Structure 1
Amino acid sequence: MTHDVYEIEDFVLESGATLRPARLAYRTYGTLNADRSNAVLFPTWFAGTHEANEWLIGPGEALDTDRYFVIVPNLFGNGLSSSPSNTPPPYDRARFPAVSVRDNVAAQHRLVTEVFGIERLALVTGCSMGALQTYQWAVSHPGMVERAAPYCGAARTSPHNSVFIEGVRAALTTDQDWRGGWYDRPPRAGLRAFARVYAGWGFSQAFYRTHTYRELGHASLEDFLAHFWEMNFHHADANDLLAMLDTWQRADVGTTPGCDGDTARALGTIRARLLALPSETDLYFPPADEEWASAFVRDGEVREIPGVWGHLAGGGGDPKAAAFIADALRELLASPPGGATTGVGEADGAPGEGARP
């Protein structure tokens, strides 16, 4: 899997732990132009790597590499960036520290500014946990993000979403091989249970009612559960999954320093032209959450992705949903930017990473 790694020495997390160093895996596509104005940031989602984002990237695609320089940073915990599975003691395996969405954004900000010298981003976009990061970018660096397109995500993880996370966490950690995270062999039974609990949430009720899984080549529901869902997590490291779940569960732009836990207040600081794209049948991040958030964004709009694919409408597997997302991104990139201007941001009193400990 081709990618680069940016190492940040003595990277202090919000939890107080220090990664020495933090390793941020990333890949770039296209060419950065002379004035560094064509950069697009596209963070990854839960358990996905940069490869999972590539369906939107390339010549003539929505993120056209003949026009844009696309940076895809990998989420901490996904096995490529710093994760329980690849971090040396004392923060290896079960002792890997809690990592927030803002920690991810802080590392990505250093990559974008220190490695590439980019002062503004034409677009930040992402699916699911990538959408959580997209919102945090727009809040933490309002003067840098011109356009934002979170899809199949939200500005915060809701209580109902948190209940789902508790369910898959419990399914994974009840395996007798789990051993508190210090397993000698992968907890296979726990990983299979994790996948099957996930299966009831990733797609919508209508997806299963209409047997849409048959269109993916599965003759039965059991075949779909075994081959699609179980195999999706078969090679995953259990501690990595739990680290990403923890990041996901605690996500809320309202906890940005300076916002005092007020999500609406945080959303009100966003200057980017923001187009939220929830899936109309998403069980994690329902459209109502995005409609609520949009009311507080100065230049916010919501468009529902049609179809029965639920949360996985954002993965590129459904041609109709994929076309809807791609068309929306093209339209957004062709539109005037939001209120972001070069050099404006945290210095003018907006909450940002500068307030981090």
Structure 2
Amino acid sequence: MTGPDASYEVHEIPEFTLECGATLRPARIAYQTYGELNADRSNLILYPTWYSGRHWDNEWLIGEGMALDPSRWFIVVPNMLGNGLSSSPSNTPPPWDRARFPRINVRDNVASQHRLVTEVFGVESLPLVLGWSMGAGQTYQWAVSHPEMVQRMLPFCGSPRTAPHNQVFLDSLRAALTASVGFDGGWYPPDDWPVGGLRAFARIYAGWGFSQAFYWDEVWRELGHTSLEDFAVGFWEGFFLDGRDPNNLLTMLDTWWNGDVGKTPGFSSTEEALGSIRAKAIVMPAEKDLYFPPEDEEWAVSHMRDAELRVIPGVWGHFAGGGANPVDTAFIDAAVKELLDR
């Protein structure tokens, strides 16, 4: 594995026009690769990042002896636009810097990733696209936007359309950041973030990322925390104070809020877009996920041609897909292996 200190690659697209009408000159797509592309370019697996995640945060599902084994597969992890590594408010020069950074939707991310896999690697077919959370949303969008390319898909703990209850949660996060002392409409100094807003943001997140049962059973002790407050500060506040710029968070939040494969040009509804997917799919919600409950993904699967619903059991909620629990990791890895063997 490489980790956060390893070098990574960047693909520059000289002029990349977003659906909102703005053009990034250039757009920068940061990515990491694992393994080697084979001679016929048939082994590239795409594994996009998630909300605020960076490429190294996906490495828990990649490794020798796992389904995503770099000795067999060439795994490419592209960083989402807005995550601080790819083009983002925090790293784009004026006039599109900071609070002026344009709106990004899921299709913009997929379009930039399509440029990456076709222009850099010359790949026209993908054995598998998979991802957690917003990575799952990108997985669905890939299968809708490029059905001729995506052979298999495995979205876990994510959805093809952001539900109204999920949007209410996201609105509360936005309010916590934008109302913070020092936010200044997003024009805070680059070296003086509105920390109070980030800490409030983290406390809201703490009630959603894991399930009620996770807290009732004090499962946070398995992560090395000694009290509920120790977990809230050490895990959640530490998570969002670790290099996560507020403007970047707001850009990705807007992408999440507006996620819907039904908005893809040529489709009149989410149901119609889901029905266009050709890929073989295993859709994996977590049993107690508060963002993406299993019944929502059961609805999605009912509109797909060749999809199976497989629920991740247990109390870890949304973070069943985050790599923190070895039992959930083994469950997801087994599904990836099964899907690739089909």
What's the TM-score once normalised by structure 2's chain length?
0.97
Q: Distance in 2 between matches of 1:97 and 1:61?
A: 38
Q: CA deviation at 1:109?
A: 0.3
Q: Deviations over 1:41-97 (max 9, x none)?
A: 000000101101111112212201111000000000100000000001111000000
Q: Deviations over 1:241-296 (max 9, x none)?
A: 00000000000000000002x00000010000011000010000111111001011
Q: Deviations over 1:7-28 (max 9, x none)?
A: 0011000000000000000011
How high is the sequence identity, in percent, across the aligned residues? 64
Q: Distance in 1 between matches of 2:8 and 2:311?
A: 33
- Counterpart AA for 1:186: W
- The residue number in structure 1 matching 2:17 is 12
Which of 231, 237, 240 aligns to 2:245? It is 237
- Counterpart AA for 2:125: R
Query: Is 1:254 aligned with 2:262?
Result: yes
Matches within 5 A, 1:37-48: 37-48=42-53
Does the 8 A contact of 1:9 with 1:20 survive in 2?
A: yes
- Counterpart AA for 2:188: Y
Q: Distance in 2 between matches of 1:302 and 1:113?
A: 30
Does the 8 A contact of 1:147 with 1:332 survive in 2?
A: yes
Q: Distance in 2 between matches of 1:44 and 1:26?
A: 10
Q: Deviations over 1:182-230 (max 9, x none)?
A: 0122000000000000000000000001011112111110000010000
Q: Distance in 2 between matches of 1:319 and 1:60?
A: 15
- Counterpart AA for 1:256: T
Please state whether the residue corresponding to 1:330 is helix, strand or coil.
Answer: helix
- The residue number in structure 1 matching 2:61 is 56
- The residue number in structure 2 matching 1:94 is 99
- Counterpart AA for 1:172: L
- Counterpart AA for 2:27: A
- Counterpart AA for 1:313: A
**Unaligned stretches of 5+ in structure 1?**
336-357
- The residue number in structure 2 matching 1:164 is 169
Q: Distance in 2 between matches of 1:167 and 1:274?
A: 33
Q: Distance in 2 between matches of 1:321 and 1:167?
A: 29
Q: How many residues are aligned here?
A: 334
Q: Distance in 1 between matches of 2:248 and 2:95?
A: 16
Q: Which moved more, 1:265-274 or 1:165-174?
A: 165-174
Matches within 5 A, 1:152-191: 152-184=157-189, 185-191=192-198
RMSD of aligned Cα (Å) = 0.7
- Counterpart AA for 1:257: P
**Unaligned stretches of 5+ in structure 2?**
none
- The residue number in structure 1 matching 2:109 is 104
- The residue number in structure 2 matching 1:306 is 313
Matches within 5 A, 1:271-286: 271-286=278-293
Please state whether the residue corresponding to 2:281 is helix, strand or coil.
Answer: strand
Q: Deviations over 1:86-130 (max 9, x none)?
A: 001111000000001000000000110111010100000000000
- Counterpart AA for 1:114: E
- The residue number in structure 1 matching 2:87 is 82
Does the 8 A contact of 1:60 with 1:66 survive in 2?
A: no
What's the TM-score once normalised by structure 1's chain length?
0.93
Matches within 5 A, 1:131-146: 131-146=136-151
